[in-house]
Structure 1
Amino acid sequence: MLSWLSLTLAYAGFAALALSMPRHCAQRHPGKPTRLSQRLFQGLGWGGLGLSLWPAIAHWGVSIGLTAWLGLATVAAFALGMALSLVESVAPRGIIALPALAGITAACAASLAG
């Protein structure tokens, strides 16, 4: 269960980092993102990625946990890339729901793990 928590936190982190970029932020609302929103999403993104490392290390230990976390982060980044390509073509404003949905899923996984 901790691997799901790590995966969803990494996904939420990558989604927040994507929202800090002008290209993906423009899907949410037209125009360039403000510096404050860019910094906020960057902080949330890096924080989510940092938090996603903890369950992997707690479950597998440091050596295997780091390796597993890199694999889980790769899967999360690939899934987000596929979701962004789908969202861009089908529902451009749906990108804002991605980090929120992943955060809710991570909270559910954490409650089941604990």
Structure 2
Amino acid sequence: MTALWVILVVSFFSFMHFAVSVQKHHRDLYKKMTITNKEFRVLQSVAWVTLLYTLVPAIQHWGMGIGIMAWLMLITVSALAVTVLVNFAPESFAKLWRLLGVVRFIAPPAERPLRTK
């Protein structure tokens, strides 16, 4: 059961980094700031490393065959959760990014997102 939560939480963290590395979502978080190549590379690297890290507990807990399938299912759930949060609750996403933002050496904590209507 612990492996399940580790995979969900860490993959959620990974997909948050993927989302912030997209120009539109980065602009929503940081208003007029555009993402630099360095920020993009670091955000993508953190996302890929942490996402691949979650494969290890899945394989250790369930074995190779079931572990990979369970891992794919769990990262799909995390990706869906981040997608819903980014698109339907950008303020909550910004608060969560400020709270969990480990890569603060790259960019300042997010400001309040602009409402686009």
Mark the structure with the bigger radius of gyration: 2
Over aligned residues, Cα RMSD in angstroms? 1.9
Whichever structure has more helix as a proportion of its residues is 1
Query: Could you list the runs of 5+ residues in structure 1 that have no partner in the other structure?
Result: 102-114
1:1-114 maps to which residues of 2 (within 5 A)? Answer: 1-29=2-30, 30-88=32-90, 90=91, 93-94=94-95, 96-97=97-98, 100=100
What TM-score do the two structures reach when normalised by structure 2? 0.76
Distance in 1 (CA, whole Å) between partners of 2:94 and 2:71 is: 30
8 Å CA contact 1:16, 1:45 repeated in 2: yes
Deviations 1:39-97 (A, max 9, x none): 11000010111011111111001100000000001100111111112333x45743623
Identity, % of aligned positions: 29
How many residues align? The count is 99
Partner of 2:34, secondary structure, is coil
Q: Larger relative CO (CA 8 A, sep 6+): 1 or 2?
A: 1
- Tell me: CA distance 1:6–1:32, structure 2 relative to 1, closer, same or farther (3 Å): same
Query: Could you list the runs of 5+ residues in structure 2 that have no partner in the other structure?
Result: 102-117
What TM-score do the two structures reach when normalised by structure 1? 0.78
Distance in 2 (CA, whole Å) between partners of 1:92 and 1:65 is: 29
